[in-house]
Amino acid sequence: MWILPKPLLDEALADIANVIAADTEAKVLGPTDSITLNKLYRTYDHNSGTITEVEDKTFSLTKRTALYNLYDKTQLGQSLSYIRAELMSVVDICPMCGIMPSSQLDHLMPRKDYKSLSVCRLNLVPTCGVCNNKKRKGDPSGFVHAYYDHKLENIPFFEIEIHSNPINHRMSWKFSINRAIIADNALADKVEHQISVIKLFRRLYKETNTLLADILSSNITSQHQLDTILAYEYGKYERYGMNDWRRVFLKSLIDSPCFSIAEAKEYALKIRPINGGVNA
Nearest Cα neighbor of 66 from 33, 39, 42, 105 is 33
pLDDT at 180 over 60: yes
Confidence band, pLDDT 50/70/90 cuts, at residue 62? very high
Q: Which residues face 89 on adjacent strands?
A: none
pLDDT at 59 over 60: yes
Average pLDDT, integer, range 97-104: 95
Please state the domain extents for the chain. 9-131, 151-277
Please tell me the predicted confidence (pLDDT) of residue 279.
55
What DSSP string describes 241-278?
-TT-HHHHHHHHHHH-TT-SHHHHHHHHTTPPPGGGG-
Taking only the tens place, the pLDDT of each residue in 195-233 is 999 999 999 999 999 999 999 988 899 999 999 999 999
Mean pLDDT of all residues in the chain?
Answer: 93
End-to-end CA, the chain: 36
Packing angle between helix 200-216 and helix 245-255, nearest 10 degrees?
A: 60
Average pLDDT, integer, range 35-39: 97
Distance CA 247, CA 158 (A): 10
